[in-house]
A = this chain, B = another copy of it.
């Protein structure tokens, strides 16, 4: 038996939703992760101290006794300035910027990337050390959207050199290259983008449970992402972008975008890293890099994983996970507080 002990695993891009869905999915992340960066794209989005605190409270209630830190984010607004942000700096781990309309519940996002308009908010964030997380896609052709957004990332990185900018859920080789050119650019990579390409979504039969935004790209993109993760590239962090949707909204025309991976992420990552003989790097990919980039100290939690197969449930509540009903090669043997 092979085993791996992970300390303080972190999911730096997580959708917990709200209400009944929150109560279904939050305990699943809280069980195996020490903390997660919580996305703010609720309806309405989290844009002030009051809703941020209330959401954090609802998350803590949903997870019960689990040791788990919800690292909270605000939904970016150009109106945020130093006066607004300064009193919140301790409670806000990051601010998430969505181009308007680009993904689930992003209608109130940014409609242009005029640096002058964005400047007061981004200067305030630089000063306060609050990283900016971006869903970086243009409104162009679906396979080009991320590539077309790279110049925006680069312009922002140049204009605000003291601002840490996280390119969220990157899917292309071009985004990895941009990381190398700018000291203040970082990235998250999901589990599913390490595993699938567009072929898995639409190359055989159409698979709505693998449909996500950004859409899975080409084999050479997946290879580049996998190399960066396996080598635990110091500017790259794990962020699942685990996005629960009720089954009926996935298995119908107008299928919502998102892959639900939170409960199986750590075992599948362990299996993937073991297959490539890189188990020793997983600790960096799922925790150490994020702790350093975000300057956070998550609560103590040890997760022991072994290469004991497990069958993934068909559903968690109304949500169908990745690998539903299939056997995966690793499982969580034990979770403990240190």
Q: Are B218 and A143 in contact (CB under 8 A)?
A: yes
Q: Are A201 and B202 in contact (CB under 8 A)?
A: yes
Q: With CB as the reference atom, state the residue of chain B lying closest to A211.
A: B206
Does A255 reach chain B (CB closer than 8 Å)? yes
Q: Are A141 and B205 in contact (CB under 8 A)?
A: no
Q: What's the minimum C-beta distance from A333 to chain B, rounded to whole angstroms?
A: 31
CA–CA, A252 and B208, complex, Å: 8
Contacts of A208 in B (CB 8 A): 206, 208, 253, 255
Number of copies: 2
Contact of A141 among B199, B251, B253, B255 (CB under 8 A): B199
CB contacts under 8 Å to B, within A209-233, are 209, 211, 215, 218-219
Contacts of A257 in B (CB 8 A): 205-206
Does A254 reach chain B (CB closer than 8 Å)? yes
Does A198 reach chain B (CB closer than 8 Å)? yes
Given the known A-B contacts A251-B251, A251-B252, A253-B251, are A141 and B219 also in contact in the complex, defined by CB atoms under 8 Å?
A: yes
CB contacts under 8 Å to B, within A255-278, are 255-257
Contacts of A198 in B (CB 8 A): 141-143
Q: Are A206 and B255 in contact (CB under 8 A)?
A: yes
Q: With CB as the reference atom, state the residue of chain B lying closest to A104.
A: B205
Q: Are A207 and B141 in contact (CB under 8 A)?
A: no
Of the four ranges (under 10, 10 to 19, 20 to 34, 35 or more), the interface on chain A belongs to 20 to 34
CA–CA, A327 and B156, complex, Å: 44
Q: What's the minimum C-beta distance from A218 to chain B, rounded to whole angstroms?
A: 6
Does A197 reach chain B (CB closer than 8 Å)? yes
Q: Are A202 and B202 in contact (CB under 8 A)?
A: yes
Does A203 reach chain B (CB closer than 8 Å)? yes
Among A199, A201, A202, which residue has the most Cβ atoms of chain B within 10 A? A202
Contacts of A219 in B (CB 8 A): 141
CA–CA, A257 and B202, complex, Å: 9
User: What are the 10 closest A-B residue pairs judged by CB atoms, nearest first?
Assistant: A206-B255, A142-B203, A205-B254, A206-B211, A142-B199, A206-B208, A251-B252, A142-B198, A141-B219, A205-B255
User: Beyond A206-B254, A208-B255: 15 further Cβ-contacts under 8 Å?
Assistant: A141-B197, A141-B198, A141-B203, A141-B219, A142-B198, A142-B199, A142-B203, A203-B215, A205-B257, A206-B206, A206-B208, A206-B257, A207-B254, A207-B255, A208-B253
